[in-house]
Structure 1
């Protein structure tokens, strides 16, 4: 059996699926291939906290996030299953001494027309009684940020793509790749051909690129998350809290249920084969996140660890996404620095425009892979 398409997308995480969506929407025949089922497999999308943050130091990333949010709302509108976007806002807790970094974020939000305002400790406690700042901290509320339940959102996207003209195949084993006038994949499912190929494989992207005699140099990191059960006089207000983000150490969190809170952090460089990664967090992280929760919620009892997990993400040298052409008709998209849910769909839209020969947004230049061509990155 031979299946033909204009584009083959390698990877069925959020970047691969959203790219396929935009291409098919424009009438471009697309096939998505993956080695595993992204709902139950080893990919990173389903392990996301589902946070949509507009708190970035660059307006280009914020505009990408805004377009990603439009994509999610569009897909939900097309689906028979409805879920809501919890527009809780994001509360960033920042050291007062870090004025330059703080200024970069607020300037970027202003440039992208994102609503925000500052809070001191007195103002904060009036709104969120269970939270407290130290004397050397200030808080900023990014009002447009929020979150989705990723365990509901991602299956909606996956199932929608499956029901459209896109052909999505999982558990694929690629035996051989030929690249003459077109690309030909010999797999356990048969042969697939295409004019163009997009690599959207997350931490596995460099392994995929080697099938085409290419290398993609990026850093891979592990990150960890945990859900903590809480109680105390204010625990009933937990579900109304915004997303929390501590700028000094990277800790983030959001309400998970009326009596639990999700925290994430624990980033460290990962040098091994991603196939060998253990998706269980270290015991030291569990202890660390418990201590952080106690400091954030001094009036709430943190009772137990309900669940914890770990995942991988990739990052470029300048910590910004990479989009563009590796070589003729072979494209790559990735390096979202742990913000794939926020950035991938918006970047997919930019890449789709390039593949469809549309005039790209000026923001594309900030993420174009060509910025690294003279720096021994690719």
Structure 2
């Protein structure tokens, strides 16, 4: 079977590896407009079935030897015991703990969080570095690159925030960003902080124990991918200072993410020969490979996970983006 994947981000790259392993012929088309960050957060500390997706993603990273670096995490805020049980079942080791330098109690976890060096996976996928165009004829997709039609048994649209520009799918793009900051506590470069009381996260920058961290969780800004936007880092940092002490932004940067009406991922078939995977809502490194695996199983065997199928939005005409689903 010949598969053409449009988009080589986390989902597209994952699908490339999955189909290549089953000896299918795979091509990937991507103009590479999007910046590839060296590392992203992978966490098992999500909500409900997303925990299982994150576990599937972690299994994928390990199977395909994508570099990972484990760090402990500290979650602040009220957390339902049911979620704590889910995190434990997924493999995290958790305990209630008071941390003096943060002056608060919370949930300390090991084996729950890590940085995944996602650029290794994406950069190792061979691509046709050009934009694709999708048109529809008799409920089938016709995909062209530079005016030439691409021949394939099936196509997969996995272009992230560009999905809605390439085909009419129920997603919207938005800007998500964070600030590399100088910090008062060097421990922040060796630990994740998820603060659901003050609404920010902090993650290691280099993981060397120097006085830096990447701090984020600003407001969602709906905009077309590629739009030039200016954000105020202190929208987040003023909240973070109340917990972390002095933090000074060095550099604020971001990229465009893709949200769905319920801020959950989706996958499925759009046309007879066109499939879709996306809507990762800012947490693609956690769930992207897991949802790609669901689509792979759907294509190969017809197996469905109804909670993530795209037809749940068939009656949705318009929507506004809500809160990212990894925020408790």
What range is the shorter-chain TM-score in?
0.7 to 0.9
**SS of equivalent residue, structure 1 residue 15:** helix
CA deviation profile, 1:68-100 (whole Å, cap 9, x unmatched): 1222223336xxxxx4x2221321110x5xxxx
From 240, 244, 250, the counterpart of 1:297: 244
Q: Which one has a larger percent helix, Structure 1 or Structure 2?
A: 1
Superposition pairs of residues 214-293 of structure 1, within 5 angstroms:
215-231=168-184, 234-235=185-186, 237-240=187-190, 242-257=191-206, 258-270=210-222, 272-275=223-226, 277-278=227-228, 281-282=230-231, 284=232, 286-293=233-240
CA distance in 1, matches of 2:243, 2:181: 13
In structure 2, the CA distance between the partners of 1:175 and 1:6, relative to structure 1 (3 Å rule), is: same
CA distance in 1, matches of 2:165, 2:176: 21
**Residue in 2 that maps onto 1:21:** 17
Q: CA deviation at 1:102?
A: 3.0
CA deviation profile, 1:170-198 (whole Å, cap 9, x unmatched): 1x134664656975433228442112111
**Residue in 2 that maps onto 1:50:** 40
CA distance in 1, matches of 2:20, 2:6: 15
Q: CA deviation at 1:107?
A: 4.3
Q: CA deviation at 1:370?
A: 2.4
**Residue in 2 that maps onto 1:160:** 124
Count of residues in correspondence between the two structures: 316
From 306, 309, 318, the counterpart of 1:365: 306
In angstroms, what is the RMSD of aligned CA positions? 2.7
**Residue in 2 that maps onto 1:11:** 7
In structure 2, the CA distance between the partners of 1:238 and 1:265, relative to structure 1 (3 Å rule), is: closer
Q: CA deviation at 1:113?
A: 4.9
**Residue in 1 that maps onto 2:322:** none
From 177, 185, 196, the counterpart of 2:143: 185
Q: CA deviation at 1:358?
A: 5.7
Unaligned runs of 5+ in 2: 320-328
Larger radius of gyration: 1
1:116 equivalenced with 2:94 (yes/no): yes
Q: CA deviation at 1:375?
A: 4.5
Any conservation in 1 of the 2:43–2:286 contact (CA below 8 Å)? yes
1:323 equivalenced with 2:267 (yes/no): yes
1:68 equivalenced with 2:57 (yes/no): yes
CA distance in 1, matches of 2:172, 2:218: 16
Superposition pairs of residues 102-181 of structure 1, within 5 angstroms:
102-103=80-81, 105-110=83-88, 112-119=90-97, 123-125=98-100, 130-133=101-104, 138-148=105-115, 153-162=117-126, 168-170=127-129, 172-174=130-132, 177=135, 179=137
CA deviation profile, 1:177-234 (whole Å, cap 9, x unmatched): 465697543322844211211111111111111xxxxx21224332220111135xx5
Q: CA deviation at 1:266?
A: 0.9
CA deviation profile, 1:326-360 (whole Å, cap 9, x unmatched): 12221111111210011111111110111112645
Q: CA deviation at 1:274?
A: 2.3
CA distance in 1, matches of 2:38, 2:318: 27
CA distance in 2, matches of 1:204, 1:248: 33
**Residue in 2 that maps onto 1:207:** 165
